[in-house]
Amino acid sequence: MSLKFDLSTAESAFNKLPKSENGSISVEDLKVFMEKYLEGAGDDMVYVEPVDFVPEPEGFLPKVENAEVRTWALEVHALWKNLSRKVSDEVLKRPELHTLLPLPKPVVIPGSRFREVYYWDSYWIIRGLLASKMYETAKAIVTNLIHLIEEYGHVLNGTRAYCTNRRASQLVKRSLPSLVKEHHFWSSEIHKVTIQDAQSYNHTLNRYYAMWNQPRPESSTIDKQSASKITNISEKQNFYREVASTAESGWDFSTRWMSNHSDLTTLATASVLPVDLNAFILRSTAEHFLKGSQARMKAFKSIFWNSEMGQWLDYWLNDSTCQEPQNWEACNQNQNVCLLMSTGKPGLGSQRDQRMQLAVQAQLIGLDTALVKKVMKSFQSSGLLFPAGIATSLANSGQQWDFPNGWAPLQHMIAEGLARSGSKEARSVAEDIAVRWLRTNYVAYKKTGTMHEKYDVEKCGEFGGGGEYAPQTGFGWSNGVVLAFLEEFGWPQDRKIHC
């Protein structure tokens, strides 16, 4: 919501509102204030007609032979029109009244409460736009991302002023000068960590670390409530930084980042070297920084790879300040697994915390046939594959980035990596993942008339839940992955689409 008056005027009026003994403001007074001083939610983004949209693009999804599936795919394709926006001229005229950041080109928003651009959403939106032959719209999104790098030195988690302290996973590869700038950003300051492996070789890797120690402006009430039992000011500020760092990752929230699965205040995202973040950086720099990418690949083998499990695992730091190089310890690979295994139940540790590091495995394999087979075996025994897709984890915590939710980008990363590994068996598994995911998306769409942000992998045709907000619809990356899967694998005439 943008301001109708300058910030000092609105702030002064807010401070004069009558408060009760506990400092709260009545709902009625707050409503009056909002009507007088704030514009409507979403007014800073306005609808724009995509310049390259046609109802049925030439050469659209040639591998889709089933008429029912093709009809649905065209309906998903048509959703790009609903999600197309541009930044309002008012933002350009009076940027100081808005939290939304100006962008030079039109955008495609995720949907529902997400009315601005998000970095990693954009990647799968672009993949869908390419399948829809909407090349100008895709180009505009990339142009906006490059603009953010040029303006801030990195792509933001989201295009709001309060996100300028948060980075996002590195996915831009198009513009070399901007790529160099963003790579320098990730390779410096607090998000760079040095780990010394068992052979005394130093490796430089990356983590999420938001320069922020207050409640998130977009979720202030929720964050304050979550921190209400923390009495120490320093500890409370640290918790807020961990929350913001988790928002950087896009996995907000998941037991992946928690030392105690039942307690959100044990978030320790800044103490985790995420295997997927480092894989994104590896892939995006390999073409242009050969020496650096080779060093990072060596780090993957030394720091992240767990030969016994056949997986690359997150690495937990002993000290999040990272003042000095840290020595690699085997038990710090995915710390939650180690804690569970220390109870004397190794099966529980390796089963319960299998999670989406498999996505990274899928992105890194392809050079070694034996490694492909090992990763395949690890995936098939992980317990993550369900009737309606791959679960984000097997921890049923109530957090949205945990069981039983499945998310479009993670399905796509795994399936695409397996499909491109060079193994026929792996490609077959990839297609099976895509079929399960497409079916649940289709059935849910037919039941509800919309595409959803996340899905319940236990029940075909059911959307997901959990987390700190109501389930969202729209939905940019879900649409993109559906179209990308149909472009890659098609849909035979005789294959049923219903569950």
Full pLDDT tens readout for the chain, 499 residues = 899 999 999 999 999 999 988 888 999 999 999 999 999 888 899 999 999 999 999 999 999 999 999 999 999 999 999 999 999 999 989 999 999 999 999 999 998 888 888 888 999 999 999 999 999 999 999 999 989 888 888 877 778 887 777 655 555 555 566 767 777 777 777 889 999 998 999 999 999 999 999 999 989 999 999 999 999 999 999 999 999 999 999 999 999 999 999 999 999 999 999 998 988 888 776 656 777 778 888 898 899 988 888 888 899 998 777 767 788 888 888 755 543 333 332 333 333 344 445 555 555 554 578 888 888 888 999 999 999 999 999 999 999 999 999 999 999 999 998 898 888 999 999 999 999 999 999 999 999 999 999 999 999 999 999 988 888 899 999 999 999 999 999 999 999 999 9
What letters, b where the CB count within 10 A reaches 16 and e where it falls short, cover 357-369?
A: bbbbbbbbbbeee
Residue 392 lies in a domain: yes
Residue 211 CB-density burial (10 A; 0-12 exposed, 13-18 middle, 19+ buried): middle
Token pair, residue 444, equals 């849910």
Which among 468, 315, 312, 455 has a CA at the least distance from the CA of 379? 312
Residue 43 lies in a domain: no
Residue 447 lies in a domain: yes
3-class state of residue 365 by DSSP: coil
Q: State yes or no: is 453 an active-site residue.
A: yes
Cα 343 off chain centre by? 32
**Cβ proximity of 203 and 299 under 8 Å:** yes
Residue 456 lies in a domain: yes
Residue 440 lies in a domain: yes
The pTM (predicted TM-score) of the whole model is: 0.86
Compute the distance between CA of residue 417 and CA of residue 366 in angstroms, rounded to an integer: 8
Domain count, the chain: 1
3-class state of residue 85 by DSSP: strand
Token pair, residue 198, equals 């068992």
Token pair, residue 182, equals 């963003």
Q: State yes or no: is 263 an active-site residue.
A: no
3-class state of residue 415 by DSSP: helix
CA distances from 11 to 34, 388, 433 (A): 12, 49, 51
Q: Which entry of 182, 242, 248, 252 is annotated as an active-site residue?
A: 252
Residue 484 lies in a domain: yes
Residue 321 lies in a domain: no
Containing structural domain, residue 492: 357-499
Residue 115 lies in a domain: no
Q: Which entry of 121, 182, 453, 488 is annotated as an active-site residue?
A: 453
Question: What sign has the CA pseudo-torsion 277, 278, 281, 284?
Answer: negative
Pairing of strands 107-108, 84-87: antiparallel
Compute the distance between CA of residue 317 and CA of residue 362 in angstroms, rounded to an integer: 25
Which among 357, 365, 344, 251 has a CA at the least distance from the CA of 309? 357
AA letter at 144: N
Token pair, residue 227, equals 């921190």
